Amino acid sequence: MRENVWTRWPSREALLHEGVSRPRRLLAWAVRLVVCGMLLWGAFTSGSLDGPGAVAAAFGLPAAVSVAWGFFRTTLEHRLWPSLGLVAVMLAIGAVAQPAGFRAPALVIWCGCAVVALERLPLAAALPVTSAALASYAVTSDDAWPATGATSAGLALAGYVLRLDAEARGSSQRLLAQERAARAAEAESAALAERARIAREIHDVLAHSLSAQLVHLEAARLLIERDADRQQILDRVVAARGMARDGLAETRQALSALRGELTPLEDFLGQLVDTAEGGAEITITGDRRPLPAEASQAVRRVAQEALTNARRHAPGARVRVRLEYSVHQVILDVRDSGGPPDETTGTGAGYGLLGMRERAELLGGSLRAGPGEEGFVVTLKVPV
């Protein structure tokens, strides 16, 4: 059967009373104590505690408490038929207690069944139970019919209000649990993204530097085995040492970036241009503003790689660097005036710019590297 408002159980969060404030818990326990006190008071003032009445009270009160506890457990587990059976036993205990002279306990039992049935059972099952309990109360009550009717309506309203309050509290508990799960997932995602960023930094810096050092050292080893000229071997070792020094400097820069200790992008590019061999010029356009760490680091890495390639493949060429801040992206354009044709055409096809292209694509941007009108052009576009 399709679940709807009539057949839907109150949620477990609502039935467990999770998230209830301390004052409300104290109030709930006070109500329970009052009910138990009324049951005991009704039993002792009924005048039926002699002989069989005392035996009935001795067994009836613990039985009623045990059945009520079982009812609370079965409704928590959403077991309909056991719950209906237990509440029927409660109604029967009241029906037996009333003619036996325990009228007040019987009225308390019937009123309690009417309220908790509306609070804890599906409405399709709660309405018949509440109707039977209130009918029993109305038939045995000595009050005038208007007062009895008002009391019955108030009990029914109290049960339904408690149900609505419990469902609202249960919904808030589920939303809170979902929010906590979402925050945990967001924190985990952020941690994974940060690990990926660190991995990319280490990969871009160390992999390129170490692979270049290995190439030079392997070449030096082969030259030594072939008894090559000492100067050739020394050149390879010096080149490997230069690669190690550059890699160490880039590693320090990467660690500074990971710590958030980056210098302003414009200052970094200015220093990079000032130290470039053969001279270079820089132009910055647009409204300058801080960039996200990933975008800023991508611009720095591409600028370093492009100037290194220009120095390596087009020595002495004039290099122009242009940084443009647009509304939705930042554009870095590095171009040189050209070198020997056989070397210039190969620039940018190596590992460095390939890694930078992958980094740009991960950020949703693009990197284009290839021959221009007079030399080689590297253009990076990163959304910000």
Taken in order of first residue, the domains within the chain and their CATH numbers are 12-142 (no CATH), 263-384 (3.30.565.10)
Give tens-digit pLDDT for 330-347: 999 998 887 654 443 344
Residue 161 has pLDDT above 80, yes or no: yes
| Per-residue model confidence (pLDDT) at position 74 | 92
DSSP collapsed to 3 states, the chain: CCCCCCCCCCCHHHHHCCCCCHHHHHHHHHHHHHHHHHHHHHHHCCCCCCCHHHHHHHHHHHHHHHHHHHHHHHHHCCCHHHHHHHHHHHHHHHHHHCCCCCHHHHHHHHHHHHHHHHHHCCHHHHHHHHHHHHHHHHHHCCCCHHHHHHHHHHHHHHHHHHHHHHHHHHHHHHHHHHHHHHHHHHHHHHHHHHHHHHHHHHHHHHHHHHHHHHHHHHHHHHHHHCCCCHHHHHHHHHHHHHHHHHHHHHHHHHHHHHCCCCCCHHHHHHHHHHCCCCCEEEEEECCCCCCCHHHHHHHHHHHHHHHHHHHHHCCCCCEEEEEEECCCEEEEEEEECCCCHHHHCCCCCCHHHHHHHHHHHHCCCEEEEEECCCCEEEEEEEEC
* 24 — pLDDT class (breaks 50, 70, 90): low
**pTM score, two decimals?**
0.49
Higher-confidence position of 379 and 294: 379
Percent of the chain predicted with pLDDT > 70: 78
Work out the average pLDDT over 102-121.
84
